[in-house]
């Protein structure tokens, strides 16, 4: 039979070649914002937060200027040195990451080699097991025949046992029929009792309705009209007639309305004052935001320039590392080919036996 070792070898080579593609697909660039778009209308809370943020930033800058004037020193050189050292640390970290990535690739290659060797060894062992399995086929067929005979006897026994429950089932049906008849009779008795109780309740309600109607037909006592200017003369403090009470209530309501109008006017004035203050803050924030955008644009250009230089250096290191990995992988492929040839010879020798 023709061996599929060549096809397996081609698939493994294709998978490893795909894994060596370190240049992945490039992401699409971020779309550039259009002029005149992106303006967001801020509420008062957002304006106050941003104004507070800019005020703190200005206070920090003023504090640095005061320290410089008092101590006659500038921390910009230290900041530049600190930035440079951080950049060097980041470069060392990237180099360490690249080294670990190469070590990971080599370890993965070794794991794949070990997996392929184990596959070939298992394949050779499978040939020997297949030969041994052919010898045991006759024994399994005899055992299967004996099992079929035992199952047939068991089926006959089960059929004999199934005939016995038929009589018991008939007894259960008769019992259920008698029980259902008793339940129907009990239900009819309960329905008759419920109908009698309903008739008694209807008669009681009719009698109650007749009594209520009789009470409604009794003539009512006439009530004398109330004089709004009448005073009870009970000797109580603040005793007054209904007309005087209504007049005082109108006075209190007018005073309350005047207070509400005065309060409303104050609220409108305070609101206008807050709006004017927010407008001034918003104008100041707009000018500061434009200045910050200009500074951020300049800083982004510097960062992009530094990133391009760092990317060029990284690509150079990556190319060197890739050449090194390719050389090591080519050496491992040659060793694997020799191992595959040896295993193929062993498999061929096993088949000839």
Condensed to tens digits (0 to 9), the pLDDT of residues 10-56 reads 777 777 776 665 555 666 776 766 655 555 666 777 778 888 888 88
Top-confidence residue, 17 or 301: 301
Condensed to tens digits (0 to 9), the pLDDT of residues 322-344 reads 788 778 888 888 887 888 788 77
Look at residues 127, 122, 131 and name the one whose alpha carbon lies nearest to residue 348. 127
Q: What is the pLDDT of residue 258?
A: 94
Look at residues 271, 272, 284 and name the one whose alpha carbon lies nearest to residue 47. 284
Whether the pLDDT of residue 228 is over 70: the answer is: yes
Kindly state the average pLDDT of the residues 151-159: 76
Across the chain, mean pLDDT equals 78
Token duo for residue 164: 């016995």
Condensed to tens digits (0 to 9), the pLDDT of residues 98-149 reads 888 888 888 887 788 778 878 877 777 777 677 677 777 777 788 888 888 8
Whether the pLDDT of residue 290 is over 70: the answer is: yes
DSSP assignments along 91-118, one per residue: HHHHHHHHHHHHHHHHHHHHHHHHHHHH
**pLDDT bracket for residue 5 (50, 70, 90):** low
Percentage, residues of the chain above pLDDT 70: 81
**pLDDT bracket for residue 257 (50, 70, 90):** very high
**pLDDT bracket for residue 1 (50, 70, 90):** very low
H/E element holding 119?
Answer: helix 76-135
Sort 308 into a burial class: Cβ within 10 Å, 0-12 / 13-18 / 19+. Answer: exposed
Say whether 22 sits in a helix, a strand or coil. Answer: coil
Q: What is the pLDDT of residue 164?
A: 63
DSSP assignments along 46-66, one per residue: HHHHHHHHHHHHHHHHHHHHH
Q: What is the pLDDT of residue 262?
A: 94
Token duo for residue 232: 């009870």
Top-confidence residue, 2 or 85: 85
Task: In whole angstroms, give the CA distance from residue 309 to residue 109.
Answer: 32
Quote the radius of gyration of the chain (alpha carbons, Å): 51
Task: In whole angstroms, give the CA distance from residue 121 to residue 340.
Answer: 10
Residue 317, C-beta contacts closer than 8 angstroms, at least 6 positions apart: 95, 98
DSSP assignment, residue 20? T
Kindly state the average pLDDT of the residues 226-245: 78
Whether the pLDDT of residue 254 is over 90: the answer is: yes
Task: In whole angstroms, give the CA distance from residue 285 to residue 57.
Answer: 13
């Amino acid at each position: 039979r023709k061996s599929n070792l060549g096809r397996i070898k081609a698939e493994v080579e294709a998978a490893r070649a795909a894994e060596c593609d370190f240049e992945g697909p490039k992401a699409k660039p971020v779309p550039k914002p259009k002029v005149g778009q992106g303006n967001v209308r801020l509420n008062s809370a957002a304006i106050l937060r941003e104004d507070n943020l800019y005020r703190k930033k200005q206070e920090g800058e003023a504090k640095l200027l005061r320290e410089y004037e008092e101590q006659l020193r500038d921390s910009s050189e230290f900041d530049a040195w600190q930035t440079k050292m951080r950049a060097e640390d980041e470069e060392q970290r990237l180099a360490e990451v690249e080294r670990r990535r190469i070590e990971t690739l080599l370890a993965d290659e070794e794991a794949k080699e070990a997996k392929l060797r184990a596959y070939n060894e298992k394949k050779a062992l499978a040939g020997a097991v297949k030969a041994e399995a052919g010898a045991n086929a006759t024994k399994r067929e005899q055992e299967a025949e004996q099992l079929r005979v035992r199952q047939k006897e068991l089926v006959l026994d089960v059929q004999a046992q199934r005939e016995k429950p038929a009589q018991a089932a008939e007894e259960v049906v008769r019992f259920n029929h008698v029980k259902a008849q008793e339940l129907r009779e009990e239900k009819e008795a309960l329905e008759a009792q419920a109908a009698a109780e309903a008739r008694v309740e209807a008669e009681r309600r009719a009698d109650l309705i007749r009594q209520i109607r009789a009470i409604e037909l009794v003539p009512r006592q006439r009530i004398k009209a109330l004089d709004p200017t009448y005073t009870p003369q009970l000797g109580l403090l603040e005793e007054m007639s209904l007309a005087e009470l209504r007049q005082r209530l109108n006075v209190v309501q007018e005073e309350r309305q005047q207070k509400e109008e005065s309060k409303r006017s104050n609220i409108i004035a305070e609101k206008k004052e807050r709006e004017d203050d927010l407008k001034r803050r918003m104008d100041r924030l707009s000018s500061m935001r434009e200045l910050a955008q200009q500074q951020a644009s300049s800083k982004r250009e510097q960062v992009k320039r530094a990133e391009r230089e760092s990317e060029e250096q990284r690509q150079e290191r990556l190319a060197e590392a890739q050449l090194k990995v390719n050389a090591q992988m080519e050496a491992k492929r040659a060793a694997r080919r020799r191992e595959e040839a040896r295993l193929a010879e062993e498999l061929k020798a096993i088949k000839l036996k």
